[in-house]
């Protein structure tokens, strides 16, 4: 069964969603990303994908304190991406309890960082975020066209010991128009890597189609806007009860 991973994108200390990653398109869903993590855990999330958008746009991590609070508050694995460009940052995240670090821009600009991080922490702790537009990798907050194809980058990263990629079709992200199933399947088949799909999931039907890609190596999917806007069964009931949840028992550590 494909794992569904809720996304928490942090911008200016708030939990937001963007449209195609464009600054200025933010919609705020919560003023407290930590409480949002508690909510998703209370709704039985098995893993969370947290993105430091300030870091992605600015080129260096900006929300380490918030990330630390999330990691120490919920008892599930936390995957972090956004603005992670140095070995020291990778080390710091692993040391505070982050389960997996996602390297994006660094995979293009400093591929040796990928090799060094895997050697130090193990391949399960490092994933590569491949964010593509028309099949071409975009970096630096999705603003820089690298001229490198998504498949070629995946193959190069595989040679460096990477076992997982997080694949995002930028044109689909935040649009609720459905993922790029064909491109997701292609990168999984050609690379032979484990793939986490991201971008565009809008409905249960989309999740069913992602499930059909599991046999090709797509074993998980990150969902953001569709979850926040109650696009799935039972979510409306969860939202009605949200304000009554003063404590979530074993899901909380504080």
Q: Give per-residue pLDDT as tens, 194-216.
A: 999 998 898 888 999 999 999 99
Its domain, for residue 168, covers 3-243
**CA geometry: angle at 88 spanning 85 and 90, to 5°?**
65
Per-residue pLDDT, 250? 40
Among 52, 131, 173, 206, the active-site one is: 131
Q: What is the pLDDT of residues 150-168, one digit of tens each?
A: 999 999 999 999 999 999 9
- pLDDT tens digits, one per residue of 75-85: 999 999 999 99
Q: Is residue 249 part of a domain?
A: no
Residue 161 domain flag: yes
Give the global pTM: 0.88
Cα–Cα distance, 125 to 134 (Å, whole number): 29
Active site residue 131: yes
Q: What is the CATH number of the domain that holds 71?
A: 3.20.20.70
Residue 44 lies in a domain: yes
């Amino acid at each position: 069964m494909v794992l569904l991973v809720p996304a928490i994108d942090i911008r200016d200390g708030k939990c937001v969603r963007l449209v195609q990653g464009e600054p200025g398109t933010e919609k705020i869903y919560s003023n407290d990303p930590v409480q949002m993590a508690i909510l998703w855990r209370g709704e039985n999330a098995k893993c969370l994908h947290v993105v430091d958008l300030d870091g992605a746009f600015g080129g260096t991590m900006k929300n380490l304190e918030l990330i630390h609070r999330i990691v120490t508050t919920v008892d599930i694995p936390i995957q972090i991406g956004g603005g992670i460009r140095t070995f020291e940052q990778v080390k710091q995240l692993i040391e505070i309890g982050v389960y997996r670090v996602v390297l994006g821009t660094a995979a293009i600009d400093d591929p040796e960082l990928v090799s060094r991080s895997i050697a130090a922490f193990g391949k399960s702790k490092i994933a590569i975020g491949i964010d593509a537009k028309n099949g071409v990798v975009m970096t630096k907050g999705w603003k820089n066209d690298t001229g490198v194809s998504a498949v070629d980058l995946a193959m190069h990263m595989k040679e460096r010991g990477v076992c997982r990629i997080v694949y995002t079709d930028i044109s689909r992200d935040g649009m609720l128009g459905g993922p790029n199933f064909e491109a997701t399947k292609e990168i999984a088949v050609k690379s032979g890597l484990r793939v986490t799909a991201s971008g565009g999931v809008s409905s249960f039907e989309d999740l069913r189609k992602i499930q059909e890609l599991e046999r090709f190596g797509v074993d998980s999917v990150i969902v953001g806007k569709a979850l926040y806007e109650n696009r799935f069964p039972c979510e409306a009931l969860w939202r009605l009860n949200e304000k009554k949840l003063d404590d979530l028992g074993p899901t909380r550590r504080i």
